[in-house]
Copies of this chain bind each other. A is one copy, B any other.
Amino acid sequence: MNHKPLLLITNDDGYDAPGIRHLIDFVKEMGDLIVVAPEYPQSGMGHAVTIATPLRIRPIVEENGYSEYACNGTPVDAVKLALDKVCPRKPDILLSGINHGTNFSINVIYSGTMGAAIEGALANIPSIGFSLNDFSRYADFFPAKKYIQAIVDNILKNPKPDNLCLNVNIPAVGENEIKGIKVCRQSIANWIEEYEERDDPHKRKYFWLTGTFNNTDNNSDTDAFALEHNYISVVPVTIDFTNHNQLQALKKRTFHV
């Protein structure tokens, strides 16, 4: 009888990105692994699902205790397909990443890495998204290794409460500079758009998304603050999107129909 935990692994940079290869390497001794990750990069896909086109899964490795598939959809599609068509039982944990680039603060909502993790939590699988503050293909993931292993081990041993979803962001510094792990809240921020305008060879305008991150909330209990001070930030993410702070005041309003 097999008592090994089952780990479902995905990402948003594509199944062959260095980030997911390192994540697989870091956790491969912790249980049986099933990897279902996007065929192509899916950064910025948030919680998008594919409705109007059919999906496919391409097997890459199918061995005892380790299998790997590429899926032609979004990160959320990959999780949904994995749960319905690939996994022989409910995974004990879902790991997404390691993303090339941070997903702290409001980036949680644009992030395909975190979209996949939230989808896991909705299926009541404890889920963790990992992101490193370095966009480079040659980023150094190794300083994060023991911290990632500690967080995965902790959640595997104590996967409560229900619908647990963690947004873990890692500063891109050397191992000796990482100060530890800090559980914190999301800083309140937004992006200010600055689309770059160009003309195509036919003199028609097109626009590239660029922008400035506008963090107005750098309190010491936020993920922004933790990262800036070389801590690994851990934010529990909700699946209840109600603004409970606004609810009571809104209930008192009269809508004049």
Contacts and interface: CB of A to CB of B under 8 A. Distances in A.
A246 interface: yes
Q: Is the interface of A mostly helix, strand, loop or mixed?
A: mixed
A193 B51 contact: no
A46 B48 contact: yes
A30 interface: no
Which of A41, A46, A185 is packed against the most chain B CB atoms within 10 Å? Answer: A46
A46 B115 contact: yes
A207 B253 contact: no
A28 to B, nearest CB: 19
A198 interface: yes
Q: State the oligomeric state as a number of copies.
A: 2
Given A49-B209, A81-B195, A257 B185 contact: no
A249 interface: yes
A194 B85 CA distance: 9
A150 B171 CA distance: 48
Given A190-B123, A235-B242, A181 B45 contact: no
Contacts of A253: 154, 158, 183
Interface stretch (A18-26, A92-100, A106-114): A106-114
A251 interface: yes
A240 B188 contact: yes
A124 to B, nearest CB: 8
Interface of A: 41, 43-52, 54-57, 74, 76-77, 80-81, 83-85, 106, 108-110, 115, 118, 122-124, 146-147, 150-151, 153-154, 158, 161, 164-165, 180-181, 183, 185-186, 188, 190-191, 193-195, 197-198, 204-209, 211, 234-247, 249-251, 253-257
